[in-house]
Each structure stands twice: as structure tokens, then as C-alpha cells.
């Protein structure tokens, strides 16, 4: 009996994630509403909270899938680049990130629209999915700056990610400080093409 209950619970979990993912792909985080999901899943609203602690937990589960999709897109761009050119690899990775954000804007925005305070305990699996994206950046970065300390590599990885993310965000939102979307690739290329092989000295 316990096995059947657990399977039913797991089946509902997967179904809710699937439904929430489809809603997020179209309308972003604001499209995820408990009553609507319960109706589509054929369950009571309370059943959702028996599977997930709150709606944030459900959105996190969808975001984990989105991180995997981002990682797959970026990894494919890396695989298409010839080895031995880390700067070109980082440019290709950044262009892939831009293309993913452009083609999947609501889901991409939901990765960052989810409100999670620093006091809250973020699930380990969620952080691991985010870390996989950072590792894709850190690998070519270490080849560009072989003498950089692991701590500085970690900081620069996040700095470069933040830079590319900011360029993409401002461009896609057509903010006054952004550039037209057809120029975003060139802007990213300019930024990475001027990376130096010598770390700055303090």
C-alpha cells in the first residue's frame, strides 16, 4: 500500500511539474497558479501542497529543467568549437545563452524572477544545476588565466555570467541602455575578444 501511495504522489509531482513548465514557457512565473494547476491535474489544491512545500518549490523544479536546457544549449555550442581556442569557446557559449534567452524568454526570465531570499535554504539539487552552468564558463576561463587562483576564477566566472546576462536582459527588454537585438552578438564578441591572457595585478 505504501508503495502505491508513493507512486501516486510521484506521478502527481511529475504531472504538476509538466503542467507548470508548459505554463511558464508561455506566460512566465505569473502563469503558475495553484487553482489552475489543480484543475488541469485533476486534483485538489491541497494535494499540490502535499507534494510541494509551496509554489516556489514547484517553480524551482521547473527551473531545474530549464537550467538543464540552458546547459545542453551551451554544451552543444562548446562541442561545435575547435579545441584550443578558449576565448572563441566563451563567445560561442555566450551566443548560445543569448539564443536560448531569445527563443525561450518566459522560461529564461523565470530562472531569475523567482523570489528566494538569502535566508532561505535553497535545495542542494537546485544549486547543483546552477553550478553546472558556472562550470561550463569556468573551464575555458581557467585556460585563459592559468595562474588565477580558484577563488578568483569563481568570482570572475560569476562576473562574466552577470555581464552576459545583463547584456542579454537589457537587449531583450529593449531598455535605453541596451542595444538592438541584432547587435547583441557583436557586443558580446567585442567584450570577450578583448579578454587578456594576463590577469590584472593588484
d(CA 47, CA 42): 10
Segment 8-24 shows an average pLDDT of: 95
Buried b / exposed e over 150-165, threshold 16 CB at 10 Å, is eeebeebbeebbeebb
The grid cell for 48 is 499540490
| Per-residue pLDDT reduced to its tens digit, 56-93 | 999 999 999 999 999 999 999 999 988 888 999 999 99
Record the pTM. Answer: 0.86
Q: What are phi and psi for residue 42, nearest 5 degrees?
A: 70, 40
What's the Rg (C-alpha) of the chain? Answer: 20
Amino acid at each position: 500500500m505504501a508503495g502505491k501511495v508513493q507512486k501516486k504522489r510521484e506521478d502527481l509531482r511529475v504531472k504538476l511539474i509538466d503542467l507548470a513548465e508548459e505554463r511558464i514557457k508561455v506566460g512566465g512565473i505569473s502563469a503558475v497558479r495553484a487553482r489552475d494547476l489543480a484543475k488541469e491535474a485533476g486534483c485538489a489544491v491541497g494535494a499540490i501542497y502535499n507534494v510541494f512545500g509551496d509554489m516556489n518549490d514547484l517553480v524551482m523544479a521547473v527551473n531545474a529543467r530549464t537550467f538543464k536546457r540552458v546547459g545542453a544549449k551551451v554544451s552543444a555550442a562548446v562541442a561545435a568549437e575547435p579545441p584550443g581556442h578558449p576565448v572563441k569557446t566563451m563567445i560561442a557559449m555566450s551566443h548560445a545563452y543569448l539564443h536560448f534567452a531569445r527563443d525561450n524568454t518566459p522560461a529564461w526570465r523565470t530562472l531569475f524572477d523567482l523570489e528566494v531570499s538569502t535566508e532561505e535554504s535553497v535545495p542542494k539539487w537546485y544549486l547543483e544545476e546552477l553550478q553546472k552552468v558556472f562550470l561550463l564558463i569556468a573551464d575555458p576561463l581557467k585556460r585563459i588565466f592559468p595562474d588565477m587562483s580558484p577563488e578568483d576564477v569563481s568570482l570572475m566566472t560569476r562576473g562574466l555570467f552577470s555581464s552576459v546576462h545583463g547584456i542579454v536582459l537589457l537587449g531583450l527588454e529593449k531598455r535605453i541602455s541596451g542595444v538592438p537585438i541584432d547587435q547583441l552578438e557583436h557586443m558580446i564578441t567585442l567584450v570577450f575578444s578583448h579578454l587578456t591572457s594576463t590577469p590584472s595585478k593588484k
